[in-house]
Structure 1
Amino acid sequence: MKFSSRFGAAVLLFHSLIPVGALAQAQLNYTTSWIGNSFGFGDGKWMQQDIQAISVGADGTVYTNAPWDESGSEIAAYRAGDKLAVAGSTHGWGNTGGDAVATNHTYLYAAMSIGNESNGLVGADYPPANQTWFGITRRTLANLATGAPFSGGIGNSANATKNSFLLLNAVTTGNDAGVRGMAATDSEVYVADTYNSRILVFDAASMQRLRSWNVPSPGRIAVDTDSTLWVMSGVSSGSLSILHYAANGTALSGTLALPAGTVPTDIAVTPSGQILVAHNGPTQQILVFNKDASGQPQAAAPIGTRNGIFHVTQGVPGNWRFNGITGIGVDPAGKLYVAQNGEGPRPLGSASVGQGAVLESYVFSTHAFNWRLCGLSFVDSAAFDPASPNSVYTGSKRFTLDYSQPVGHEWSYAAFTLDRFDYPDDPAFHQPRGVRGEPMVRRINGQQYLYTLDPGAHYLNVYRFDAAHGEIAIPSGLLAQNPIPGTWPSGQPTYGEWLWRDSNGNGTVDASEITGNPSTGSTVGNGFWWVDTPGNVWLSTPTSGIREMPLQGLDAVGNPIYTYASSKMFAMPQPFTRIARIVYMAATDTMYISGFTSAIPWDSTHWKEAGPVLARYDNWSSGTPTQQYAISLPWNTQSSPQTTTVGVAVAGNYVFVAELYTAKVDVYDARTGQAVGYMTPGASVGNTTGWVDVYLGISAVQRANGEYVVLLEDDARAKILMYRWTP
């Protein structure tokens, strides 16, 4: 890519590097807290990031399952708003969780899979090359971490779940043969073999197969009070119905008449025999069927607020405002349990982990609220609303903060800003992970805008807000460094940069609204986006300098206007040979740059790092910027773990640098570059955190009382890590 230079032959003034080791680094006096999870891990607990299925025990314990939780809580147990146990052995060494779970009075039966990690694992515990096993793990309710082995059971010979896996399907890796429904009595286990369109029945004690019958692409199963079965059918086709069978497989009358447009995701039966169906269509409700005198189900009034979290005050969570129901159940005492992940069940073949997990309980008869648990943030960072340090956005959530509350209780879940029904063409759904990621919040002419990056910062998404849509972030624009893989959107160039602006205001990426970059026709690659306070967009290219796309105003719809024609280029400043991160402070015309130099050049094994050097440049836009300092950041790729940097934030008089592998934030005086100290996770979060695993994973703000609040992505336990520090 060829750019002209606004710097021309201007000489950059710079000082020699200030080595970080030459200055004493002391641990600062600060408080560690968190946002977005009901538990912090200081007590050894965390709410999992996704729930695909639940089973409710006789004592009101809720057992969950999902294919993936970053810290291994795929299968877990919760009761009365507390977390009781993690099953384990469903994470790593080829193991993953699954999409179904069932319990009786003795055992838990959960769908799971065993792979060989790209043929790296061999032996009797693993499938042969290029295969994956799908089946069921059996555990004791008394100790979920202990397998309940049986004759014919296999797997995990080196841990406590040895020989407790029942192999159902061995398929070529890449195929999804996961079990999508299960139910259990004390004598039998009913399994939806979705892949082979059949229901399998096993002896609950011996796990020996008893019988089977064909059902087109079956999913969820519920056992009625008369021991008959309600079975969801059509999972692979998307044309879903609920069929009725005797326990021996005989088809029965009484098929549920679902309203047009129903998207059933789970089935439950109350102690009195009412049939409940979770509906994940736009109404986001639970359908209720009472039985008439002849035992035939008749539709009754649904429960839950119509349109769920999107009702009237759109995006605001609350009691009975459901959002992506994945599981429902009722215990013998009449308590209802509802699992949600902001999306609904994982589509076949998808690796989705949802949009954040919520598990809540109500009294079914009176609708009284019991409790709620949240695990709302995964591979997602957070940013402050510049109008208020008490309002924090992640990619798809908003939280409010009350700093007077105890550690871990400062946050409240205020909004879900992603609307898959009104705006199914939101670019976030078509980018890596299918979720909105790293946010920047800006105020332009008093109006609020949300800008988000995908984890690798290839795409900058733009969202606007209006009164009619409440808290929903409306797709407004997109700037892409390269084409998005696949067929979406129609009209994007086959090569090179491009941008989209929603000029007709419908929130859909129309081909007529897409513009390629006519001056280069090239692909930037691994650049980094930054949006400054006035709303100008900056792109640091790895090796060709920095481009500014000044805001050209707002169009009639309220979308920010950016054009390639109005772009300005700034040459690569010394001492950098590759730029990794930028932070531009428009109020002072100050640019902070981190990256690589000839002394420590970039290499592909550290593709997401922020680099070993940080520099500050004053009078950046003048054409003759002055480098105030360049400092060596912590960097040692030979240590174990490695010491490298991954993110930079600036607030007030300080620069905050996140390290990647070492759970550390280094603090520098923004005026001088002098090292001030560092922060690491405290006891409230178990003295640990996951990696900051995205390009824009750290943010900071200075409150009016002088306190600094620093937010970091916590990749491990579905939360945002928060440091509070007063110099």
Structure 2
Amino acid sequence: MQGIYVTSNGTVYTNSNWDEGGRATSIFQNGTITSADANGGGGQAIVVSGSTIYESNSSGVTNNPPCAAGGCGIQLLNASTLAALSTTISGDSAVSSTGSAAIYGLAIGNGNLYAAINDQNKVDVISLSSNSVTATWNITAPGLIAVDSSGGVWISHKTNTALPNVNGIVNDEWGDFGTAVIDHYNSSGTHINSITLPDSGEVRALWIDSNNNLYAGDENTDQNIKIYNNILSSPTLSGTFGTQGGVYTSSTPGVVAPGRFRFITGIGTDSSGNIYVSDDDYGHGVLLSSYTSSGSLNWQVQGLEFVSLGAVDPNSETDFYDPYHHFHLNYSDQNSNIGTYYSDTFDPYQYTTDVRATGNPNIAEVQYIQGSRFLLLSDQAGGYLQINRFQSGSEITVPCAALDYGAFQNQYLDFSVQPTNGEFIWTDANGDGIIQSSEIAQPTSAAALAPAGQLEHRDGNDFWMDTNGNLWQVNYYSPDEGSIHIREYLFQGFNSHGCPQYNFNNLNIYTNSTDFPQISGVSQVVYRPGDSEKGTIYIAGGAPSAGAFDQITRVDNWSSGNRTPTWTNNIVWNPGTASGSTLINPVSFSIAGNYIFVDYNAVHYVLVYSTVDGSYVGEIDAGSDVGGDSNIGNDDMWLSTTAFERSNGQYVITKEEDYQAKNLLYVWTPAGTESQTATPALSPGGGTYTSSQSVTISDSTTGAIIYYTTNGTAPTTSSTKYTGSISVTSTETVQAIATASGYSTSNVGNATYTISSCSPAAITPYIWTSAGGWQQITSISVASGTAVDLGPQPTSGGSWSWTGPGGFTSTSREIDSIPLSAGTNTFVATYTNSCGANSTETFTITVTGSEGPYGGTAAAIPGTVQASNYDTGGSGVAYNQTTSGGQTGYRTDNSGAVEADSGDNNSPANGYDLGWTGSGQWYKYTVNVATAGTYTVSFSVASPSGQTDGFHMQNSSGTNLSGNVNVPNTGSWYTWQTVTASVTLPAGTQTLELAEDNSGWNLEYMTFASNSSGTEVSLNSAFNITGIYSNGTTFSSSGGLDDGGAAYSSNLLGTSLTYSGIVYAFGTANQNNAVQGTGAPVVTLTSGSYSTLNFLGTASSGNQASQLFTVTYTDGTTTNFTQSMSDWFTPQSYSGETTAVACSYRNLSNGTEDSRTFNLYHYSFALNSAKTVKSLTLPNNSDISVAAVTLK
């Protein structure tokens, strides 16, 4: 969107120099497009007068659609219908002699149309009455034009600064467009004065409103709009609109928000004072926005995708990246746009040699190398790959490395800094994200470089990264390497700035004749290390036409030298017909889970095949919600689809769609993989009520839609959709079901509500003590040991029920010598009268006396102490609480500090937290410390704003043990994080005091962990395989860790390993020294109470998801832990998994070494520290192994 014009009523007219759908000219009203497709036009500027549109149509025959009859120049259109009028202003005086897009500015005033013709250094003055040129002003490099109410003409200037290059062309997409100067001329062309933008500004958009305020869009680093008043006499900068620095300046650079512009191309205003802004750049996408004069967003239209393809972050299924943008996905909103534009990942001002400033990458994927995340950028033809690293605290990604086979189409260089004689590899050696010539490497063989005068290295393309970090390149030909083959660039580790390293000396070359003779030619290759023990390669080939394929072959154990295909499948070729098209063919594929997704060009659908045997699964087509097949363009890229498997078994398939500026996201659920939606919950619960009830229905499944009935019939998806609370005014049963995308329908949730006119009876409270007899009161304070009776009235005519501390219940009216403990004791009496109505009364008895541990037993350390389990003894003895608000009934012996935890309530929380904090308040805890020493205390805290010096822990003498503890901003009162402090404690029973120094935070629990290195568990009786051998040892080819003749090296592991402060002991080399999961073996644990169980282990023969481990305690109870485990060769960075040691080789059964990286992983499970452990049961899976276990 290169130019816009806004009428007084807020109608926005736009012009574009290219539109794949042929809608270069568009009309918007209130954020809705009102114009039709295929309307012609195409250029840089547009202006409207009455019922006529004047637009530059100066891009020559490259327009889409091409210029109208009569030639290029200035096209006249009907402002309502966009019908082309018979008049076209063309000829040498109004069109570029070079055929380029040279008419950059149009404006109307004084009965004339002013046209800025940049490459001819002139402005033509064209009479509106005759549509002929009446004057020509000689203006150097004119750019944009605006006319004020007095007839003054304001003209900016466009520069054409070329980037330095040799024998090639570099698209300077982010180079200078405008200078800082706007010149002011009278209606005769005489210069009056000038405006110069501050801060080295560059004018890219220009507008004058009805009040003679001039708006200049600054495309330089300010990225805002400069507003000038008094322009008829003495122009003065009166203000700006938009955030200075645009999207590139904020607390998190790159995050989008109203007013954060990123390349302003058009400005306009209407009679209501609204401001309209377009921002756009080559490849970066279009935004058209309407703001109030105060900066509030009225509406925004987005067109962010054109010849582009994005992908889901493989470790975060709600994050989606294209080459320039980051989106958040909401899968519950699949009937509209499931992606929310969150940020830009490109900063052209900080990283000036980023390929996105010159080469317009079209394809983005996210890949992880050893846990580090990278954004991969490739172009339409696959001729280069740029690797960007992510950085903390910013959405902007940093260029880190690049590979390029040479100039695109033998003429365009991709990068602003690159050699001109063929392929190269760049690695960011100094970490600044900017390419320097000294950081570029080329092949040492002269024959590998392109011949003199030829910029491109012949026919190399399609760079792709596997999960090991290795890069694959196909369709490659060079003079010294022969015909079609595949290259594998081996990952050489990271440099000091976290950039992956590659070179021309460490690569594998696979040839057609030797390695994949079963398939002719190569179109695409995908290598999946985890699909077989030694990795699996999928090759698409055959050559029905250029850039396509009709076969896919799978070869397992590729890295071990196997070349025998597991299967080869003929992919459906020319499966349908498309009018006027011969491009009905598969063009690319992607793999996720057990499926291959093959994308087709003109027929626009995706065919699905099985990775297991290559068999056909089904077809995915575009639905009516995206306009159907007729609203989809052809695929224009070497990679036109990506795929991702969600945690719920769904698949997300992304497909390029340039015709209407979007990516298509298909969400597919294979049959039989759905989880069930949670059962809806109704509140309040069913029962007898004396008045109408407002019933709410909720469901814990994200994105669930609820349907309900109130007439006793079973609910279906045709029943009433739940949108808010239901009023129940008479006796009825409410039933509800829920559905969610990717889940099967829930079970029925139901509740019956009986609405009765029966009124509850009043309760008269009485409390008896030996000192005061019966008193008509509800609360009393007594000394320890005092006998207390409760005897409310009436004495007859109904029934009673009681609840009280420690699970106390009774059905008597009068209860004698009630059980009391120190502190506050709360009893609740319920009286049900003869007609069934309930009434309640609460009695509070406070027992004063000495302090004691909650529940009568001191809390064990090491272990977890719940914040809500402070000592008993009452106010001033066990606690001091002066603020109130959160009382739940869990602890009734204070004024209301304990509240129900409505947040994540993660283990080992007990469902309550200590809130309503304040300076000077304190709580005491009686604890029993097992061993004297230093302990790390993890405090689970929550705060919406954070608090410096929130609290500290002290002993009974008042000594500050922990130092002052700062509470971070966790995001809300119930979003929990842990902060730690160290305390040194003597052994034995003692009292610790939590002293509150400031308010503004909640505390959930405190976990005390010994700073020791842990208790190593002897596995000698459990060892059942030999998984560790010393170097040079030969053993059975069916033995080792993987039952396939491979094992860890004891020379690398040693006899013990310390990881994260925990010591692990390995078994003796060359004998049974690992526990394999076959038969679900049971490991006897060292008896004791511990906070965590920690072990070193791995999977083999592929990644093993969702493995179940069970810890059994001496009291017979168990705790289950589910953990996914990576294959030792293919780390997946699963949640709860870290790499304890990366071995540079493994030992093979023939006594040799396999010199690749094999990993041993660390896992840790939280235990119930109040119990004594007995044993650990492993999953019944021969493909998982444990090498060492330590308790802590």
Q: What is the TM-score with the length of structure 2 in the denominator?
A: 0.50
CA contact (8 A) 2:556 2:566 kept: yes
One-letter amino acid of the counterpart of residue 69, structure 1: D
Which of 44, 68, 77 aligns to 1:139? It is 77
Matches within 5 A, 1:320-469: 320-341=259-280, 343=281, 353-364=282-293, 366-430=294-358, 434-467=359-392
Matches within 5 A, 1:526-605: 526-542=460-476, 543-572=483-512, 573-588=516-531, 589-596=535-542, 601=543
Deviation at 1:443, TM superposition (A): 1.6
Q: 1:80 to 1:172 in 2, by over 3 A?
A: closer
Q: Which moved more, 1:277-286 or 1:702-711?
A: 702-711
Secondary structure of the 1:578 match is coil
**Larger RCO: 1 or 2 (CA < 8 Å, sep 6+):** 1
Alpha-carbon distance in 1 for matches of 2:117, 2:244: 33
1:180 pairs with 2:107: no
Secondary structure of the 2:666 match is strand
Structure 1 segments unaligned to the other structure (5+ residues): 1-50, 91-95, 127-132, 154-163, 344-352
Alpha-carbon distance in 2 for matches of 1:196, 1:74: 25
Alpha-carbon distance in 1 for matches of 2:652, 2:413: 41
Structure 2 segments unaligned to the other structure (5+ residues): 162-177, 450-456, 477-482, 671-1192
Q: 1:82 to 1:116 in 2, by over 3 A?
A: closer
CA contact (8 A) 2:8 2:269 kept: no
1:516 pairs with 2:454: no
1:706 pairs with 2:635: no
Alpha-carbon distance in 1 for matches of 2:97, 2:634: 28
Deviation string 1:626-664 (CA, Å, 9 cap, x unpaired) is 412111112239965332111101111111000112111
Q: 1:227 to 1:173 in 2, by over 3 A?
A: closer
CA contact (8 A) 1:531 1:537 kept: yes
One-letter amino acid of the counterpart of residue 147, structure 1: A
Q: 1:486 to 1:679 in 2, by over 3 A?
A: closer
Q: 1:105 to 1:174 in 2, by over 3 A?
A: closer
Deviation string 1:255-301 (CA, Å, 9 cap, x unpaired) is 21321411011211233222111100011010111228x83111123
1:98 pairs with 2:43: yes
Deviation string 1:432-465 (CA, Å, 9 cap, x unpaired) is xx21221221122322101121111111111111
Alpha-carbon distance in 1 for matches of 2:101, 2:338: 43
Alpha-carbon distance in 2 for matches of 1:619, 1:239: 60
1:269 pairs with 2:208: yes
CA contact (8 A) 1:233 1:241 kept: yes
Q: 1:626 to 1:473 in 2, by over 3 A?
A: same
Which of 226, 230, 238 aligns to 1:287? It is 226
Alpha-carbon distance in 2 for matches of 1:212, 1:619: 73
One-letter amino acid of the counterpart of residue 538, structure 1: W
Alpha-carbon distance in 2 for matches of 1:392, 1:177: 34
One-letter amino acid of the counterpart of residue 712, structure 1: K
CA contact (8 A) 1:442 1:534 kept: no
Q: What is the TM-score with the length of structure 1 in the denominator?
A: 0.81
CA contact (8 A) 1:457 1:528 kept: yes
Q: Taking every aligned residue pair, what percent have the same amino acid on both sides?
A: 30
Which of 426, 430, 439 aligns to 1:500? It is 426
CA contact (8 A) 1:104 1:186 kept: no
CA contact (8 A) 2:537 2:554 kept: yes
CA contact (8 A) 1:495 1:521 kept: no
Deviation string 1:190-215 (CA, Å, 9 cap, x unpaired) is 22232333322333344233433332
1:722 pairs with 2:665: yes
CA contact (8 A) 2:94 2:124 kept: no
Secondary structure of the 2:119 match is helix
Residue of structure 2 equivalent to 1:9: none
Structure with larger Rg: 2
Once superposed, what is the RMSD of the aligned Cα atoms?
2.6
CA contact (8 A) 1:646 1:693 kept: no
Deviation string 1:290-330 (CA, Å, 9 cap, x unpaired) is 228x8311112322111101013211111100001011111
CA contact (8 A) 1:545 1:571 kept: yes
Alpha-carbon distance in 1 for matches of 2:618, 2:647: 22
Residue of structure 2 equivalent to 1:229: 153
CA contact (8 A) 2:156 2:179 kept: no
CA contact (8 A) 1:244 1:251 kept: yes
Deviation string 1:364-411 (CA, Å, 9 cap, x unpaired) is 2x2221111110011111111111121111111111100011423211
CA contact (8 A) 1:233 1:242 kept: yes
Matches within 5 A, 1:574-723: 574-588=517-531, 589-596=535-542, 601=543, 606-609=545-548, 611-636=549-574, 641-642=581-582, 643-688=584-629, 689-723=632-666
Deviation at 1:422, TM superposition (A): 0.6
Q: How many residue pairs end up in the alignment?
A: 624
CA contact (8 A) 1:135 1:169 kept: no
Deviation at 1:356, TM superposition (A): 0.6
Residue of structure 2 equivalent to 1:82: 32
Deviation at 1:493, TM superposition (A): 5.1
Residue of structure 2 equivalent to 1:25: none
Q: 1:579 to 1:177 in 2, by over 3 A?
A: closer
Deviation at 1:593, TM superposition (A): 0.8
Deviation at 1:245, TM superposition (A): 1.8
CA contact (8 A) 1:438 1:454 kept: yes
Q: 1:581 to 1:278 in 2, by over 3 A?
A: same
Secondary structure of the 1:723 match is strand
Alpha-carbon distance in 2 for matches of 1:218, 1:503: 42
Q: Which moved more, 1:578-587 or 1:192-201?
A: 192-201
Would you tell me which structure has more strand in proportion to its own residues?
2
Which of 402, 410, 414 aligns to 1:478? It is 402
CA contact (8 A) 1:169 1:177 kept: no
Deviation at 1:684, TM superposition (A): 1.4
Q: Which moved more, 1:66-75 or 1:265-274?
A: 265-274
Alpha-carbon distance in 2 for matches of 1:285, 1:212: 32
CA contact (8 A) 2:406 2:413 kept: no
Q: 1:233 to 1:549 in 2, by over 3 A?
A: closer
Alpha-carbon distance in 2 for matches of 1:482, 1:308: 34
One-letter amino acid of the counterpart of residue 292, structure 2: V
Q: 1:125 to 1:361 in 2, by over 3 A?
A: closer
Residue of structure 2 equivalent to 1:129: none
Residue of structure 1 equivalent to 2:1008: none
Q: 1:535 to 1:278 in 2, by over 3 A?
A: same
